[in-house]
Structures are given as structure tokens and as C-alpha cells.
Chains A and B, each alone.
Chain A
């Protein structure tokens, strides 16, 4: 076997007593692409964050290049030649490719004077060696996402990185840009670099990876050569045993129920295209899709905090204008957004003020908030949702994740909505709080409301919903009946390459570029 770059065993990490990773294990050899697989909550991110020095482990050993390491920061990790490439890496957009590559390590002419000629020369040399077709003097803002990733890789290589961690690098880039990225990765591994590759797109793993490691529920499950496993077995290992969930009974006798939310042909650019669905009283409709499938953009567009360019949203018989969340709330829509800390709550404000925020107008007379009513509302909601806090005057930021999410739901319910939109309603909260939230959503639907819930956790949707809409690349691919589906079928549907049509497109693209130098690099910028 080739030289081992990373040997990690028994790595564990807990947050406030809640374990996120119980036993992480991974062996990365030089020259291989190693797929790290696992569902949400499997502990992948925690493991990678420890490896990158963003978190410190509670237990276990990590050896890099044969010696045990305790990274305190990402720069410690970089010193041991570990670098990470993600979508979120934000280059300095107004600087050139060359300047970004050598940021902080600019070649000098005299002390304090940057040698601009040398920067460009060295950057060109590096990009040529890597066969990356990116012009060193271009501004980052003119590059496509895939090219930005190539620049980030070049930057990592220029810092002598031998271990690259790539977290969902293809989630936002197109088909042939992916090919460019893959050929770049193969060249790097041929030169002895080890790559830890994370992607929900299983096809990619089979195309690219040499070995795989599966985590599930915070534990290492198995590892092996990619050749020895097929797709079905990999999905099985990722999902584990299907948990027998308490399923909600299929909606019986509700065919005459009132349609609450009707969406027809909703589109916005390439983010989501021609999506139609309708929700009746009592419905809990799920949306399942991978990162970059346009699910959040769609929900934001429906509610009005994100753009939509065409299509019609009708709520209880009245049309909702785009980008008017205030109107949506007034007509009976409420939304639990994906990121409660950013767009869900005002963290520095008291619980009470958060609960009442969207309906202050209703609580007020002549613009003056009637404090008694507000206090009563807050007390009622805290009790209804069992928010555990000593007082509703505490800042919401001081609560645990589960209780913060309950405050978000309290705020949503305060406006007495008919339809609730939930984007990842249980992200980052513990199992107990999750079950409480599921029950609240069920009760809401049973009381004559409707819920549209998007989640990247398949079990959650199977447990909650009667139907699940599968999103893929901005399109609603199909509806599946939750009662007849398993986690495997959901993951399968959402990640499957539409072999026939896309295969054809693929060949077409290839031939189109075959007379040019490299496929993909002619691709659309931006």
C-alpha cells in the first residue's frame, strides 16, 4: 500500500454533551481519491472540521504523515499540508487569479514591495503545471464556479498541500465543468496527493473515487475499495437499517378538503423551473433534493423572501405577489427558514419580542404595542410549544438549538397561519426536540392547516409526509408516495443520473468541444 497520509481512529466529539461523532475512522493513502460517505448527522462534517483544525477532538488519535497531530486552527492543518476546497471558500473577487493564489505570500522585490511581474509569472507556471486553463491576470469575479475551485486548488498546491479535502465541490457546477474538475483531481493524485472527497452524488463517487469510507450515526461503518461495492450496497450502508417509523396515516376521505396553497409553473432562472404543486387541508407535503437542487430557493420564492420570475402562487384563493412576505403572513402563510440564526430569529432580542415580531401590527392599537396582549401571546406560545426557558425576557440567543427552533415555530404560529413552510425544520437540534417538532407539525395539519416541509433527512420526510416531491437540478422530478418509499428510494431518485437523456447531452457536449483544447473550459462564465 502507498504511503499513508492520514490515519485517524476513534475520533470523538460532543457538543454540550450531545455526541456528534462517536467513532470516526479514516485511512487516506497518497495518490488516492477517498470518498467519505454518510447521511446527514453521520458525523462527516464534524470529522472533517476536526481534521481541518476548526474543531478539537475529545478523543481518538489522528496521525498525519505518520506523526500524531493536535490542530488548534486551520493554519496548523495547513502547516501539515492539509487544505480544504468548498463552495463556501470566498476568494477576493476584485483581485486577479494570481493575486488570490499568492495572497499573503506575495513575491517581494524589495521589503514591502510586491513584485507584480513575478506573481503573474509564477501563477502562470503553476497553472500550466496543473493543466488548469485559467488566465492568471483575470479577475476572480469573471470566473465560473468551477474555475474558482481550480484556483483554490492551485492555491492549495502552491502551499505544498498534499492532502485535499473537497466538500461537495460539484454541487453548484455544471456537467462538463465537473469533468474538468475530475481530470484536475486525477492529475493531482497521480502526483501523490491524497483527496478526501465528499459528495451526495453517488455516481460521481463511482466515477472518481478509489476507496470509500462510510460513517453512520457518528460511527465508522466500513471502508474498502470502490470496485468492491455497488450502488445499492453503498446506499444500504449509508442509510443502515430502515427505521420502522411511526407513519402518519394516509389522508383518507380528504379528497373534498379545501385547497389551501396552489403553486403553478413557478420559475426563477435556472434555480427552479416550472414547479407546480398544491396542498389541501391536512396535507404534509415533503420536498427532497440534494444540495443545489433549488429546494430552498423555491420555498423562499413561494414565501416572498427570495425572487421568482414567473408562475402563480395562490393562498386560500388569493394570489400572493412576489417578494412581499408581509402580504404572505397577512394572508395566512408562515415560514421556518433554513437558517434560524440568520434569517429566523433576532438573536439579540428577547424571546417575547421574537414571538410577536411578525404580528406586532395586530397586537397594537394606533401603532402602540399593547404589552398585556403581547405578554399573554408569548406565555401561551411558550406553554404550547414547551419552550424551556426561565423567562421570555431572556435573549433568544441564550437558548439551545431545539428551543430556539421552537421559538421560530411559536413566531410562525402566532400569526395563525393556514399554511406552514418549513425549510430544514430540525437542523442541528437533538432527537427529543425533533420528535416534539414533528408532533407540532402533525397537530397543525390535523387542525386543518397544511405543511410544506423541505428536508435533507429522508427519514424525517418519510415519518412526516404523505407525499414527497423529488427535486433535482431545479426541477420537480416526480411525486412519490411516502408510504411506499424508503430512504433508499428517495436518495436513489434524487441522486440518480437521468442516464438516457443526460447521457446523450453529454456525448453531444463532448463532441462539441473535442475540436477545442479541453472540454468544459469554454463553459459559460458566471
Chain B
């Protein structure tokens, strides 16, 4: 008997149609959910579909989006990063303090100081997880606490304000009439999308998350790849921290508490498997947009932030449920 090499269902035409439909629902599920959300909100609030509101949504999404993109690397490689929000606050504070002391023309140094802090925190996470084999959840939970504590120590618990003008540009400036945070998100997205899709490193990230043992067999340096995903996550958290600080015109030690949950939620809603190896950046982007839109919509509808948390939490669980059922 000849066993078919690919499993085919009995009726080709029908199964093709259902397969297509299922495919759309699975792969474009996020898009459909997003559109539905927009339709509902635009019927409920006249402000929802205005230009201003959308610039606002995307600008608010930018910070979470950049964090979520970093976290996507980590989750794709089979890990988790709980420390991004704390690292973001620490890097914002470091950059802000440089900004108040350095002259305006040294804005490059300010940015580098922030990014270097984030990169260091990420490398520590990566070292702990990849080389010392500490479970990612524990290592990054530790970093969550350490980085937050360092932020309070560094700022002495007080906001750092009086930021230089070039620094503030990251939050309130525009490029070609587009707010800088939105441009930043777009650039980060484009670079990271290219990295994941077209570089050797990106493909190794998927391989390590898909099957670490197969990656090892194929000569992939799984430890280095894993460590680098955390480094990327840390550096992007730093970038988000600079934008957040500039937008709020001061580095607050308690900035962005619990933002890591929104970032992880965006990744998961975007269809990336928490088991690793499967997922896309475009999904993460839509995940972040959905969270931004929910926040915005619930604000417009005058629903209290307490309820917003309940709604958001339910959506995260629903998204994972979808992920589980997708894998049968």
C-alpha cells in the first residue's frame, strides 16, 4: 500500500475551502479581532475614528510595541523576559541623569548611556539563563526586582527632570510631521523584522525555540543565540525607556511598573507560542495595537481603569486558549 507523503482529507474541494477558512481565521485572527474591535469602538464613540485619536493610540502603543518586539525575540527562542519594564525605568533614569549633566550636543552620549545600561542588564539575563542554566522565569524575575531597586537607588526615589531639549525630542518631536515615538517603533520593527526573517541569527532564534536539541545537532551555538535574545530585549527596553522618559519629561523611579505584562500580552495575543519556535513580529505589532486600542477605547467609553485590567486579562487568557486549540 502506498502511504501518501502528505496527509490529505477525503474530499479535496471541501477540505480545501475549510482549510482556507481555517487558515485565515488562524493566521489573520489577530487582524479580524482588531477590525472587529475598531468597528465596535467606532460605533460606540464618535471620537474613536479621528486622526488625533489614532495618533494618540499609536504613540501610546509605541513604548509597549518596542518592549514587546524585544520580548518576542526571547519568547521565540523559548525563553521569557519579565524584567523589561524595570530595565526600561532604570535606563530612562540613567539617560535622564546624563542629559541633565552633559551639554546638549552630547545627546548621542546620553542615548548610548541608556542603551548600554539596557544591553548590560540583558546580557546579565542572557548569561544567567544560557550559561548558568537558571530558569528564565527566575533569572528575569530577579532582574525585575534588581533593576527596579537600582532605579530607586540611582534616583534616590525622586524624579529626574530638567531634561535637555534634544532629549525631549524623543518624546515630543516629529519627523516629517510624524511623532518620533511612532517613527521609532516603525524603525525598530523594520530592523527586527528583517533580522528575524533574513539573517542567520534570526533563523537560529527560531531553530533554538523550535527544538534546542536539533539546533545543537546542526551546530548552532544555542547558548550564544539565547543570550543574545535577552541582550536585544534589554537594549530595546532601554530605547523604550528613553522615549517614555522624554514623553513624561522626567525620569520617574516608578515608571512603567507592570508594563512587562502588557508586552508579554502583546506577544501572546500576536500568536507567538510561549513554547518557542513559532510566531511573527507582525503579530506582536498587532497585539500591541490591540492592547493600545482597548486601553484607548475603554477610556473613551469612560470605563474605569479597574475594569480595563479585567478586560485585558481576559483577552490574554483568550489569546492563549486560541494558541492551545490551534495546536490541537
A residues whose Cβ falls under 8 Å from a Cβ of B: 16-18, 305, 325-330, 335, 337, 342-349, 353, 357-358, 360-361, 364, 367-369, 371, 388-390, 394, 398-400, 402-403, 411, 430
Residue of A nearest to B201 (CB): A367
Nearest chain A CB to B224 CB, angstrom units = 11
Q: Across the interface, do A389 and B5 meet the contact criterion of CB distance under 8 Å? A: yes
Given A357-B207, A430-B3, does the pair A346, B214 have CB atoms closer than 8 Å? yes
Decide if B159 is an interface residue (CB 8 Å cutoff): no
A330 to B220, CA, bound (A): 12
Q: Across the interface, do B200 and A361 meet the contact criterion of CB distance under 8 Å? A: yes
Nearest chain A CB to B308 CB, angstrom units = 34
A339 to B190, CA, bound (A): 37
Partner of A345, one of B4, B214, B220, B221: B214
Nearest chain B CB to A200 CB, angstrom units = 26
A369 to B200, CA, bound (A): 6
A356 to B5, CA, bound (A): 21
Partner of B206, one of A305, A343, A346, A358: A346
Nearest chain B CB to A202 CB, angstrom units = 34
Nearest chain A CB to B1 CB, angstrom units = 5
Q: Across the interface, do A390 and B3 meet the contact criterion of CB distance under 8 Å? A: no
Q: Across the interface, do B219 and A328 meet the contact criterion of CB distance under 8 Å? A: yes
Q: Across the interface, do B210 and A348 meet the contact criterion of CB distance under 8 Å? A: yes
What 18 new A-B contacts, CB under 8 Å, besides A345-B211, A348-B277, A402-B5? A17-B3, A18-B3, A326-B220, A326-B221, A335-B217, A342-B213, A343-B216, A346-B207, A346-B210, A348-B211, A348-B278, A357-B214, A360-B203, A360-B204, A364-B199, A369-B198, A389-B5, A403-B5
A394 to B206, CA, bound (A): 15
A-B contact count (CB 8 A): 98
Nearest chain A CB to B326 CB, angstrom units = 12
Can you spell out 7 A-B residue pairs with CB atoms less than 8 angstroms apart?
A326-B219, A327-B219, A342-B213, A343-B217, A346-B215, A357-B218, A400-B6
Within 8 A of A (CB), among B1-46: 1, 3-7
Nearest chain B CB to A375 CB, angstrom units = 13
Residue of B nearest to A402 (CB): B5
Interface residues on B, range: 20 to 34
Q: Across the interface, do A394 and B203 meet the contact criterion of CB distance under 8 Å? A: no
Partner of B220, one of A348, A357, A371, A394: A357
Q: Across the interface, do A394 and B214 meet the contact criterion of CB distance under 8 Å? A: no
Q: Across the interface, do A342 and B218 meet the contact criterion of CB distance under 8 Å? A: no
A364 to B204, CA, bound (A): 13
Nearest chain B CB to A373 CB, angstrom units = 13
Nearest chain A CB to B258 CB, angstrom units = 31
Q: Across the interface, do A18 and B1 meet the contact criterion of CB distance under 8 Å? A: yes
Residue of B nearest to A339 (CB): B213
- Chain B positions 290 through 315: 1 when the CB is less than 8 Å from some CB of chain A, otherwise 0: 00000000000000000000000000
Q: Across the interface, do A357 and B203 meet the contact criterion of CB distance under 8 Å? A: yes
A411 to B3, CA, bound (A): 23
Q: Across the interface, do B211 and A305 meet the contact criterion of CB distance under 8 Å? A: no
Residue of B nearest to A357 (CB): B218
Q: Across the interface, do B218 and A325 meet the contact criterion of CB distance under 8 Å? A: yes
Given A325-B216, A357-B218, A367-B200, does the pair A390, B211 have CB atoms closer than 8 Å? no
A40 to B105, CA, bound (A): 75
A343 to B215, CA, bound (A): 8
Q: Across the interface, do A349 and B219 meet the contact criterion of CB distance under 8 Å? A: no
Nearest chain A CB to B210 CB, angstrom units = 4
A224 to B201, CA, bound (A): 61
Inter-chain contacts of A361 with B (CB < 8 A): 200
A16 to B4, CA, bound (A): 9
Residue of B nearest to A328 (CB): B219
What 9 A-B pairs have minimum CB-CB distances, sorted nearest first?
Answer: A326-B219, A388-B5, A346-B210, A358-B218, A343-B213, A360-B200, A329-B219, A357-B218, A17-B1
Q: Across the interface, do B217 and A337 meet the contact criterion of CB distance under 8 Å? A: yes
Q: Which of A16, A327, A360, A400 has the most CB of B within 10 A?
A: A360
Q: Across the interface, do A400 and B199 meet the contact criterion of CB distance under 8 Å? A: no
Q: Which of A16, A328, A357 has the most CB of B within 10 A?
A: A357
A388 to B7, CA, bound (A): 12
Residue of B nearest to A300 (CB): B217
A188 to B3, CA, bound (A): 45
Given A329-B219, A361-B200, A369-B200, does the pair A342, B3 have CB atoms closer than 8 Å? no
Given A326-B221, A353-B203, does the pair A400, B216 have CB atoms closer than 8 Å? no
Given A305-B216, A368-B199, does the pair A16, B206 have CB atoms closer than 8 Å? no
Within 8 A of A (CB), among B273-290: 277-278
Q: Across the interface, do A400 and B3 meet the contact criterion of CB distance under 8 Å? A: yes
Given A305-B217, A326-B221, A369-B203, does the pair A349, B210 have CB atoms closer than 8 Å? yes
Q: Across the interface, do A367 and B199 meet the contact criterion of CB distance under 8 Å? A: yes
Q: Across the interface, do B200 and A349 meet the contact criterion of CB distance under 8 Å? A: no
A138 to B210, CA, bound (A): 38
Q: Across the interface, do A329 and B277 meet the contact criterion of CB distance under 8 Å? A: no
Inter-chain contacts of A342 with B (CB < 8 A): 211, 213-214
Nearest chain B CB to A406 CB, angstrom units = 10
Nearest chain B CB to A171 CB, angstrom units = 22
Given A329-B218, A403-B5, does the pair A353, B206 have CB atoms closer than 8 Å? yes
A343 to B204, CA, bound (A): 15
- Chain B positions 54 through 82: 1 when the CB is less than 8 Å from some CB of chain A, otherwise 0: 00000000000000000000000000000
